[in-house]
Structure 1
Amino acid sequence: MKLSVSPAVLLAARTLWDFHIIYDDLSEADLIIGLGSYDLRVADHCAELFRRGFAKRVLFTGKSGNWTGNLYEGTEADAFAARAKELGVPEAVIMIEPAATNIGENIRFSRAMAGSDVRRIIIVTKPQTQRRAHATARAQWPQVVALVTAPPTRFEDQPTEAYPLEMFIHELVGDVQRIRDYPAKGFQIAQSVPASVADAFDFLVKEGYHHHL
């Protein structure tokens, strides 16, 4: 990772990263759900989990958001599905949900497509959105057991050419605010935010990392 921020900013960003990641222990499920984004490594990980037999169906969800409008020719879900097919996932087992524009819609629209026989799901997302996905699924799809995971990407390797370090830090900050605010709106379950995370959040906002709030 090319360092273009101060050591103090980097340390605070790592604190938020550590808070956001979960990596549930996985077991066999009815469906793998890949949440669309700028990060095709999520699609790669969905394909790997499929090959390893964790589920027999894969659903990709996502329209185009603030970060991907110019990144893919079609929707995030279409791009992820194409990548999974390149990696050997049969087209017949892939479902595409092309309308969701946020994690709440990812979950609700996937629930509507999945069918009533789905009881256990594996949600695959970016490492830093695992906690949001966890909280959203439990609030908006409580009927299923929802396991959450992500590609095993290191903090240093998460920024990409299309989504560089400073944008990545803005995202980390914005998701802490959503974890705080969304339970009152019914979007997520409530979660405790440690003091160290709250302090890192406040510091980064003061440093100007507030574009995703």
Structure 2
Amino acid sequence: MDENLIDYYARLLFDYHFLQQPLQKADCIFVLGSHDPSVADYAAQLYNEGFAPYIIFSGGVVRPVGELRNTVPKTEAEAFFDIAISRGVPAEAILLENEATNTGANFICTKKLLQEKNLNFKRFILVQKPYMIRRTYATAMVQFKEFDFVVSALPDTYDSYIARCLAEGITKERVISNMTGDLQRLKIYPDKGFLIAMDIPEEVWSAYERLLELGFEGRMAS
């Protein structure tokens, strides 16, 4: 395979997925589960910079040893908690949601947690990986529409993000397959009511189709 060509197509998807909104202070930083530990690093950074007084980590998927810098299998929320504590976030500022196993459930289970804890948060910063920001936004517009929110991720280019992932043991192939899977979901999930429709430029869709032809289809929804 021509790696330069793969990177060209993948960069188009990355730049499209990374919907960027200006940060604003909030009541809570709401972090959706992920296999990428830099998501927790960024949430801790936002907390330490005073953007919100609380963090919610949502994610019930149990990750194997080492995948989120963990030494024993842990849920995404639990592993993110450890990372945030190591970054100086006090435990009393963190809430854990350990049931969600997909993006929609992150929102549903977190709203349940807020109700159970009688927390009247109204403004949120939603944090995810750069290439999941557009789908996070589109899903929140359905599942979290009663709240004010912005979506955010650690600032990265495609190249710097891939380098960061490789340093964490996350392969480029996994990242690209995740990006094609997310674009497919943006296309088909509006009809299921899971998220709002988003315009997908022809150039981005063509890049997606080419990446599928090259074998990056490991995370397609059925």
Q: Residue 89 of structure 1: CA displacement?
A: 0.8
CA contact (8 A) 1:120 1:146 kept: yes
Alpha carbons of structure 1 residues 201 and 80: separation in structure 2 relative to 1, 3 Å: same
SS at match of 1:88: coil
Q: Does 1:203 align with 2:192?
A: no
Tell me which residue corresponds to 1:192: 199
Does residue 1:107 correspond to 2:139, yes or no?
no
- State how 1:1-213 maps to structure 2 within 5 Å: 6-64=3-61, 68-70=63-65, 71=67, 72=70, 73-115=73-115, 117-159=120-162, 160-161=165-166, 162-213=169-220
Give the SS at the match of 1:190. coil
Unaligned runs of 5+ in 1: none
CA drift of 1:5 comes to 5.1
Q: Distance in 2 between matches of 1:143 and 1:88?
A: 31
Q: Distance in 2 between matches of 1:112 and 1:120?
A: 16
- The amino acid that maps onto 1:151 is L
SS at match of 1:176: helix
Secondary structure of residue in 2 paired with 1:95: strand
Q: How far apart are 1:153 and its partner, in Å?
A: 2.5
1:121-159 deviation line (CA, Å, top 9, x unaligned): 101100000001000111111101120000113312323
Q: Secondary structure at the match of 1:105?
A: helix
* Count of residue pairs the alignment pairs up: 208
What SS is found at the alignment partner of 1:158? helix
CA displacement at 1:206 relative to structure 2: 1.1
Displacement after TM superposition at 1:168 (Å): 0.9
Question: Is the CA contact (8 Å cut-off) linking 1:138 and 1:146 kept in structure 2?
Answer: no
Q: Aligned letter for 1:59? A: I
Q: Distance in 2 between matches of 1:27 and 1:157?
A: 25
**RMSD of Structure 2 on Structure 1 (CA):** 1.5
Greater shift after overlay, 11-20 or 35-44?
Answer: 35-44
AA aligned to 2:182 is D
> Could you say what secondary structure the match of 2:96 adopts?
strand
| 1:30–1:56 CA contact under 8 A, matched in 2 | yes
TM-score (norm 2): 0.89
